[in-house]
Structure 1
Amino acid sequence: MTDETPLRRPRRRPDVTQLDLVGGPEAVAVTLHEPDPRWPELYREHERRIVAALATTGTRAQVEHIGSTSVPGLAAKPIVDVVVAVEDVTAEEDWLEPLLAAGYLLRVREPGHRLVRTPERDVHVHVYDRGAPAVADYLLLRDHLRRDDADRALYERTKRALLERRWDDMNDYADAKTDVISAIKGRAREAREG
């Protein structure tokens, strides 16, 4: 008789099929703040908090600072965005329950993506499967904006122009930046490959 330790297999199950915006749309005043040296510190604090919470279930995750607050010199809304890549986003018992216990609140459940945030709404944690294209896209954009002064300035000008409008929900504001972000990511891919 041999001693076989079963391998842990992802508990892939059917994912949600539509957006569930917990609490519904929220009117928000989007404001840009000048770069704040506390943003990286806040990220590191939440990185430790997330890793510690997930360790309670043995969940290993990739945790990265993304979004405008991760780009030195870029004005941003004062919300630190974090991306977390887990083995299986549908296995919420492995990662959602520990994050809720650590004080985060569920805000978005949609196919392949969940979002939890702090009650103060100053930290948004985006959760995806490990290897999800969205994670690579976030990192591509972040790294390109850190290196490319012209695209960083274009992105900031775009955000400032959008702030002249009223937004009933932060998701609408995010959607309005899509074309510019897509163009910047296209240039980032070209720069990476060339």
Structure 2
Amino acid sequence: MPTTAEILDFDEPPVPAGASPWVVPPKATVISVVDPDPEWPQLASTVSNLIIDALDVRALRVEHVGSTSVPGLAAKPVLDLDLTVADPSDERVWLPRLEAAGFVLTVREPWWHEHRLLQGAPASNRAAAPVPGIPVNLHVFGPDSPELVKHVVFRNWLRHDTADRERYATVKRQAAQQPAQRMSDYNARKAAVIREIYERALAAAGFIEGD
């Protein structure tokens, strides 16, 4: 379990000299934020079951996180899931099984909580897609990663608080207005509002003392 100090720390380490997180280089893309789809939770459950079937006891936990996990929240039509494994750096234990299930390793960041990102493409583009018709981002962390806690705190707060849910939906739609961009550009446009919401979410969860 990460410490409270680690959960409250939002500083990301720089990429080491000569290193790159990208296993598959990113491309400029059109980012679309759509109305919430009531089928997203069931699709995420289908993906979770596929991951558990592939990894068996190696999958310590699978959580549906991100905007598609919040009923009533506009989102990119992409499922985000957090997978906890004992040691993300020991890829031979878990990666081949997920690749066989249709996932592709896209990002490797050993300097940032040993984070890995795998993606599954729509069935129209990849025969072995985990879920037909919707992309999947699978984030892999170890059990001590504070990101696992942060993502659940943020999700739970947005499920609870209507005002912040609407505030976040507005900034997401505004951030997506540029037709062609990298995902990092889209995320940067949301960053200030995300931090504001995190302050309230972490306080409500008990990580920050109230006034």
Q: Give me the TM-score of the superposition, normalised by structure 1.
A: 0.85
CA contact (8 A) 2:22 2:107 kept: yes
Match of 2:43 in 1: 42
User: Considering only CA atoms, is the larger Rg found in Structure 1 or Structure 2?
Assistant: 1
Is 2:24–2:107's contact at 8 Å kept on the other side of the alignment?
A: no
Moved over 6 A (4+): none
Residue 8 of structure 1 is matched in structure 2 by none
* Paired position in structure 2 for 1:60: 59
Structure 1: runs of 5 or more not aligned: 1-15
User: SS at 1:90's partner residue?
Assistant: coil
Alignment partner for residue 117 of structure 1, among 109, 116, 119? 119
Contact 1:25–1:168, Cα closer than 8 Å, also in 2: no
What is the TM-score when the length of structure 2 is the normalising length?
Answer: 0.79
The Cα shift of 1:167 comes to 4.1
More moved, 145-154 vs 116-125: 116-125
Q: 1:140 aligns with which of 143, 148, 153?
A: 153
> Within 5 A, what are the aligned runs for 1:1-194?
17=16, 18-55=19-56, 58-111=57-110, 112-120=114-122, 122-193=135-206
SS of aligned partner of 1:43: helix
Separation in structure 2 between the aligned mates of residue 182 and residue 19 of structure 1, nearest angstrom: 26
Q: Give 1:97 shift.
A: 1.2
Runs of 5+ consecutive residues of structure 2 not aligned to the other structure: 1-14, 123-133
CA contact (8 A) 1:43 1:65 kept: yes
Aligned pairs, number = 177
CA RMSD, 1 decimal: 1.6
Q: Which residue of 1 aligns with 2:131?
A: none
Matches of 1:132 and 1:167 in 2, distance apart?
A: 32
Answer with 175-184 or 162-171: which moved more: 162-171
Query: Identity across aligned pairs (percent)?
Result: 40
